[in-house]
Homo-oligomer: A and B are copies of this chain.
């Protein structure tokens, strides 16, 4: 049975679910930083998804990217599968601005995480719930 990697569980807040993926918010207010985790067991790489899940993942990643683009007006989106430290397949979707504290470097390992106030999390959750529409079930 699928269960979220303990390190991911510790570092993030569950915002809700799409058909395939959990949508997590990295608890780091330095950047609007979201993570999609397909609820499938024992996956480490994108190319290990079945053909059906792969298409579903593409749909959810595109939906999230367009929602972030509309709602948060990034200068650039950074989308990445790394997994060098946390092996469970998870895909970063990070909203980047030219004035964010790591710009133009990638965000990983740059700054200590700056946890959100709970009101900020609620606000982001409401925004995503509105932007993602019927495909999304808030947690």
Contact = CB atoms under 8 A, between A and B. Distances in A.
Contacts of A126: none
A79 B76 contact: no
A76 B80 contact: no
A83 interface: yes
Interface in A48-71: 54-55, 58, 61-62, 65-66, 69
Nearest to A78: B82
> Interface majority SS on A: helix, strand, loop or mixed?
mixed
A116 to B, nearest CB: 23
Nearest to A74: B45
Interface residues of A, number: 29
Contacts of A76: 44-45, 82-84
A54 B62 contact: yes
Contacts of A62: 46-47, 54
A59 to B, nearest CB: 9
Interface string A67-102: 001000000111111111100000000001000000
Interface of A: 44-47, 54-55, 58, 61-62, 65-66, 69, 76-85, 96, 103-106, 108-109
